[in-house]
Amino acid sequence: MTRYYRVLSSIIVFTMMGIGSFVLSKSFAEDEQNRKGQPIKSREQQESKASNNDLAKFMRGKLDASSQILDGLCTEDFRKIISGASKLQELSAAESWRVSTDVMYRQHSAELRGAVKDLLNAASKKNLDGAALAWTRTTLSCIECHKWVRATLISKG
Ligand code: HEC
């Protein structure tokens, strides 16, 4: 009889431990979600979030292409430079690039496209200095446009 109780009590203890760790892990998971701080949003907000995510993915693509270019410049690998610059050229010609029709925005876009074109030219002539110079113009145009976006588009909401 005591043996029976001992088995029973250990079953109960293990069950409690199981439930306990389940509850704990669930509350941790919820905590994790809360920490990510995603308040419940209206449908409209969620939709605009989706298009923001598309834009973010698109912009990340530019960043990937850019690091390939820098990689190529540092290792004097002109194929890498050309590959990254072509990607950047494609991306900057894409429809989703046109976040704003503002004159300044278009000018920043044109600046970037011009710099990327010079970068491609220099790289295809295996002109490292020319490519490096065009690259600094390219990155400056990234930064200038972002400065403009932050000051203008975002403050407008
Ligand atoms: C003509 C304007 C323009 C130019 C030039 C430009 N961007 Fe952007 N970029 C934007 C806009 C608009 C956003 C989105 C801003 C926002 O709403 O947060 C953005 C956002 C980004 C982001 C943030 C994405 C995220 O995770 O939220 C990255 C990274 C980025 N751009 C990379 C680049 C790089 C690299 C270049 C240059 C090769 C570049 N951009 C050139 C307009 C531009």
Ligand 1 pocket, CB under 6 A: 55-56, 59-60, 62-63, 66, 88, 99, 105, 108-109, 112, 138, 141-142, 145-146, 149
* Ordered per-residue pLDDT tens for the chain, 157 residues: 556 666 556 555 555 555 545 444 444 444 444 444 444 444 444 445 556 777 788 888 999 999 999 999 999 999 999 999 999 999 888 756 677 878 888 899 999 999 999 999 999 999 999 999 999 999 999 999 999 989 987 776 6
Q: Are residues 79 and 111 in the same domain?
A: yes
DSSP secondary structure code for residue 99 in this structure: S
Whole-number percent of the chain with pLDDT over 70: 64
Residue 99's pLDDT is what? 76
Cα-to-centroid distance, 50 and ligand 1 (Å): 16
How many folded domains does the chain comprise?
A: 2
Q: Are residues 144 and 106 in the same domain?
A: yes
Distance CA 132, CA 126 (A): 11
Q: Which residues of 43-70 are buried (b: 16+ CB within 10 A; e: fewer)?
A: eeeeeeeeeeeeeeeeeebbeebbebbe
- Classified as helix, coil or strand, 74 is helix
Instruction: Determine, yes or no, domain membership for 22.
Output: yes
- The pTM score is 0.71
Contact 148, 108 (CB under 8 A): yes
Q: Please state the φ and ψ torsions of residue 102, each to the nearest 5 degrees.
A: -55, 145
Q: What would you report as the CA-atom Rg of the chain, rounded to the nearest whole angstrom?
A: 27
To test the pocket of ligand 1, the residue of 52, 70, 145 to mutate (highest count of ligand atoms within 8 Å of its CB) is 145
Instruction: Determine, yes or no, domain membership for 45.
Output: no
Instruction: Determine, yes or no, domain membership for 41.
Output: no
Contact 128, 76 (CB under 8 A): yes
Percentages (nearest 5) of helix, strand, coil residues in the chain = 85, 0, 15
CATH number at residue 155: 1.20.120.290
